Every structure is written in structure tokens, then in C-alpha cells.
Amino acid sequence: MSKREFQTEVSQLLQLIIHSLYSHPEIFLRELISNSSDALDKLRHLTLTDDAYKTLPFDPRIDLELDEENKTLTIADTGIGMNEEDLIAHLGTIARSGTKNFLAQLSGDARKDSNLIGQFGVGFYSAFMVADRVEVISRKAGEEQAWRWVSDGKSGFDIEAAERSVAGTTVLLHLNEEGRQYANSWRLQEIVKKYSNHIAFPIFLTYDKSEWNEAEKKSEKIRTTEQVNAASALWRRSKNELKEDDYKEFYKSITGDSEDPLFWFHTKAEGSLEYTTLFYVPSKAPFDLYQSEYRTGVKLYVKRVFIMDDAKELLPQYLRFVRGVIDSEDLPLNVSREILQQNRVLTSIRTASVKKILSELKNIAANQPEQYLKFVAEYNRPLKEGLYSDFANRETLLDLIRFKSTKVEGLTSLADVKSRMKEGQKSIYYITGGAESLLRTSPLLEIYKKKGMEVLILDDEIDEIVFSGVDKYDDIELKAVNKSSTNEDLKDEAEPDKTEALKPLIDKLKISLGDRVKEVRASVRLADSPSCIVTDEEEPSIKMQQMLRAMGQ
């Protein structure tokens, strides 16, 4: 047996892990399972690509074995395994220079900041959060000799020759005080389902299951082995391998929704960044869509390992109704929420995902209009929110949003409105500021009706705010009819200017209205009604003024 000391950085790391990361000790299982999954991935790759390994048996599986009495838990795999050299190199030093540099930077109080520590993968050493003694018995694929690595996570480790019948690695944890809670089959199953359900290899749990013995009228413990995970990272499979029902079933399993989704978009990106996304649009808007405490429904995975859900930074807020999975090859396993906000990899994935979702929606609008109407019925409003917050995609959003109008029944798109514009018409007009029935009968619309011009009826309460910030669709200006300077299209050369003739009346009105109005003018916008109220182009509309006043502004 040979005794070895940990590299200084490993000792530092262990200190940090044991003293600062204890808020989520359950992640040890995620880390160990992910190592096993990596080891299986590596061996699978070799058996597929390297002649020396092609003939080796490959029965990929991960086995968790619980001994409640002795408080031990083992995690065993049939992966690539490690020989003596590997054990010393991988489980005693920190190879990645990034981690070393990071550790060197941490000093004083920063050491206690577990958010900072979350920036690097704690990996194998997280086992020492729950165990006071860890044994690793490993045999490298293609070699006969196995090795045992043992450590208490304090000073160093011992290494000696051992036996193992097949290639692979067994990690044996002697659970400490903190770790005792994991000597529980129910808890283990829960953690595996939570973090590792879609690891591509089967994960089995062997434990003493209580079963009722009818003959003896008592329950007895029976050693049982059950598969715990679903073992299919559905989103990693190729599109042509998957049936509609596979997608629907998976949707239901991740959302708990009993209805089928409206659409899904499955994308695999390769190149400078590698990732897979599978997004779903629920057929009914989530109940909390308009609540400030809404939950998002996109889960983040790194290499098929679950990292977190309800991360609001994965997609912009206006797409909060989207459900699904983002699985990245390039993010570290231990990426924290804090890091996500400024992570370049995630920013790129997010930007591309938004583009993808919006362009797919555009396709549906063009090719499946009936389905698209179902979508609009639920999600027109969140898309409008996007106009307000996502300037980069404003053009696309304007194409996706649907409108009520004076010209057509039901809903219409801006592209259609544009195609119906009258010859010489310069702008597209809309009216806001009240309920639909009120807007439709507004005297402000009279002249537009008379001239055969279409006006959009924007009766959604957020329209006022959102559309006051949108001044163009394509190259055409969007104008509110209840603002004063929208007359350009209404001027009629044939009609004489009545300002002079009306001057006495206007003067009287100015006197009697006093400073309740800014201006009284002869208007070209009225056809049958004698007068109407409009607001200055530069000022908030009447409805908005009321809202601002109500908010104490």
C-alpha cells in the first residue's frame, strides 16, 4: 500500500467543499452519477472507434447499492475505469488550470461565498460532503489489474492493488453524520429522478424493500434491484427517430400538463457551440402567466445532467409560457444562477433560441393558419410585451402579433393591413384607449371610414403603452388616430380650409373652455360629429394620462 498526499489545491478545495457547500449536499449524487456517465460515454466511444476495444464486452449501466445497516452507499459503473496512474492523476490533483487559478484568487471572505465556489465543478470531491471515508475500486478497460484508492478527505489517500471482475469503477461512500439522510432508498430515488432522470444509461438501485408476507402476517425485507431513471435523453435522439407521441409524452412528463402541447421545436446546434433545445408551446396559457410570481418551464441540462429549472435567464420574460429543455455541451456542470446571467455561452444559446422560436412561429402562421389562431388566442399579449423589451426582434414580433380592425372580422396581421392600404396612404392607423365597443364607435374613426381607410382597434390594456413606443412597421409609420398630428392622409385638396370661417366659434370655445384645453382647432378628421378631443403628439394619450394620474404621477 502506498500513501500519498493531496496536491495543495485539492486540500484547499476539500476545505471549501466541506465547509462552504453544505447547503446542497445532495448534489454529490449528481456529480458521481455524471462521472459514471462520462466514463460510460468514453468507453462507448472507444468500442465504436478503436479496434483494440471493439471486442471488449460493453454492458453499460450504473448501479447504486444501499446498505442501510452499515450506512454505506456505492455508485458503480461499467465504464472506462482507471488504473493506478489515472487514480493518482485524477483523484488527487486538479488538472484543469482554470480551477487552480480560481482557487488561488479566492481569499478571506470570498472563500465562504458559496456562490463563487459554484463557478467551478466540485466533481468527485463533493463525495466528502456526505462521507468521512471514500473508497474507489477501479479497473481500466483492457487491463487485468484493479486498484483501490482510499481517503478520509483530509490529508491524502492510500492506493493498493485490488480485484474487480469487470472493467469499471465503484465508489464506496461511508456516510457521515450529514450523509446519513441518504441511506434511504426513497430519498435516493427522488434525487436520481430530479437530477439524473435523463442520463442516457440505466441507473439501478439495489436496496432492502419492505414487502408484506401474507402467510406470516408480517412485512419482511427483500433485497431488490429496480431501475430508477427513464434513461432516455429524449431531446438527444434524432428527430426522425422520434414519433409525435414520444414528444407529447415527454412534454407531459416534464410539465405535468394533461393536454397535448400546441407545437414543439426541436433543434440541434453544432459548430462553435454545441447544444440541443426542445421547446414546447402549451395549448393553454399557464395559469400564472400574468402573475408576478410566475414560474418558467425551461430546464437547463449540461451534457444530459440536470442543472436547474425555473431559471428566468434562459429565455426572455415575454416567452415565459415556453416549456422544455436546453442542453449544452459547453457549460460547466456547476454553473450557478448568478453566473448564468453573464455567461457568454448561455447568452448565445438564448439569442439563438429566441430567433428559432419566433421563426418557427412565423412558419406556422404562414402554413398552418388555423393552428396559429389557437396560438394567438393564448399568447398574443405576451408577444406584445416583447415589443416593449426585445428591440432586436421587433420586426418579427410585429409580424406575429394579430390585430382587430375596422376592415375585417376576427384578427388580421400588419402584413395584410399593409396590403390593403389605399393608394398614396402614408401611415397605418390605430385607435387605443378603451373597450372595443367604445373604440369602434368613436367619432375619431368617422373620417377614416368615409375615406375607406382601415384602423386597427387596440383594446388590450397594454396596447397603449406598448404601441406608443412602436413607430414603424417595415417602412410605414404607425400612428394613433387620437393624437393631433395624424392628419396627413386626411387632408383633402378639394375641401377649402375652414379655419377662417370658423374663427368666431373657435374663439368662443377657447374662452369658455379656458385652460382645460391646450388648443382648439378646425379639424379635417371629423365627418358627422361636430367635435372630438385629441392629445398632442408629444404627450401621453388621455387614457395614459388617466393611468398616470391614478398611479400618482
Question: Binding to ligand ADP by residue 99, rule CB under 6 A?
Answer: no
Query: In this chain, which of 39, 199, 200, 298 binds ligand ADP, going by CB under 6 A?
Result: 39
Q: Taking CB under 6 A as the rule, does residue 121 contact ligand ADP?
A: yes
Interface residue with ligand ADP, options 21, 27, 66, 79 (CB under 6 A): 79
SS3 142: coil
Pairing outcome for strands 323-328 and 146-151: unpaired
**Closest approach of Cβ 231 to ligand ADP, in Å?**
17
| 8 A C-beta contact, residue 403 and residue 458 | yes
Is 169 annotated among the ligand-binding residues? yes
Is 35 a binding residue for Mg ion by CB under 5 A? The answer is yes
Would you say 128 or 403 has its CB closer to Mg ion? 128
Q: CA 542, CA 516: separation in Å to the nearest integer?
A: 13
Cβ proximity of 349 and 326 under 8 Å: yes
Residue type at 386 in one-letter notation = G
CA distance 378 to 313: 23
Distance CA 445, CA 437 (A): 12
- The entry of Mg ion, ligand ADP, none near residue 442 (CB within 5 to 8 angstroms by kind) is none
Among 63, 77, 84, 459, binds ligand ADP (CB under 6 A): 77
Sheet containing 168-175, strands listed edge to edge, beginning at the edge strand earlier in sequence: 2-5, 156-162, 146-151, 131-139, 168-175, 72-77, 62-67, 203-213, 218-227
Report whether 77 belongs to an annotated binding site. Answer: yes
Q: Which residues, numbered 120-159, are part of the site for Mg ion (CB under 5 A)?
A: 123
Choice between 81 and 179, CB closer to ligand ADP: 81
Q: Which is nearer to Mg ion, 35 or 405 (CB)?
A: 35
CB nearer to ligand ADP: pick between 79 and 297: 79
Radius of gyration over alpha carbons of the chain, in Å?
Answer: 33
Among positions 405-444, residues that touch ligand ADP (CB under 6 A) are: none
* Three-point CA angle 7, 17, 182, nearest 5°: 120
Concatenate the DSSP letters of all residues of 350-362 into one string. Answer: HHHHHHHHHHHHH
Q: How many residues bind ligand ADP (CB under 6 A)?
A: 16
Q: Which is nearer to Mg ion, 123 or 433 (CB)?
A: 123
* Residue 77, contacted partner among Mg ion, ligand ADP, none, CB below 5-8 A by kind: ligand ADP
Strand partners, 203: 62
How is residue 327 written as a grid cell?
442542453
410 is in an annotated binding site: no
- Give the shortest CB-127-to-ligand ADP separation in angstroms: 9
Is residue 80 involved in binding ligand ADP (CB under 6 A)? yes
Nearer to ligand ADP by Cβ, of 77 and 84: the residue is 77
Residue 153 lies near ligand ADP (rule: CB under 6 A): no
Kindly identify the residues of this chain, within the stretch 494-533, that bind Mg ion according to CB under 5 A: none
Sheet containing strand 275-282, edge to edge, reads 261-269, 275-282, 323-328, 297-302, 305-308
Report the partner that residue 36 touches, choosing among Mg ion, ligand ADP, none (CB closer than 5 to 8 A by kind).
ligand ADP
Q: Is 123 annotated as a binding residue?
A: yes
82 annotated among ligand-binding-site residues: yes
Binders in 169-228 for ligand ADP, by CB under 6 A = 169
- Provide the terminal-to-terminal Cα distance of the chain, rounded to the nearest Å: 78
Partner whose binding site includes residue 268, from ligand ADP, Mg ion, none (CB under 5 to 8 Å by kind): none
Q: Between 39 and 314, whose beta carbon lies closer to ligand ADP?
A: 39
* 163, 146 contact by CB (below 8 A): yes
Using CB under 5 A as the binding criterion, the count of chain residues that bind Mg ion stands at 2
Dihedral in degrees, nearest 10, Cα atoms 487, 490, 492, 497:
-40
CB closer to ligand ADP, 123 vs 324: 123
Residue 328's alpha-carbon distances to 42, 239, 383, in angstroms, are 18, 18, 26
Rounded to whole angstroms, the Cα distance separating 455 from 445 reads 8
Minimum Å distance from CB 37 to ligand ADP? 9
CA distances from 445 to 416, 417, 452, 528 (A): 20, 16, 10, 10
363 labeled part of a ligand binding site: no
Q: Which of Mg ion, ligand ADP, none has residue 82 at its interface (CB below 5 to 8 Å by kind)? A: ligand ADP
Least distance CB 265 / ligand ADP (angstroms): 31
From the list ligand ADP, Mg ion, none, partner contacted by residue 418 (C-beta under 5 to 8 A by kind): none
Binding site: residue ranges? Answer: 31, 35, 77, 82, 97-98, 119-124, 169, 337
Binding site for Mg ion (CB under 5 A): 35, 123
Binding site for ATP: residue ranges? Answer: 31, 35, 77, 82, 97-98, 119-124, 169, 337
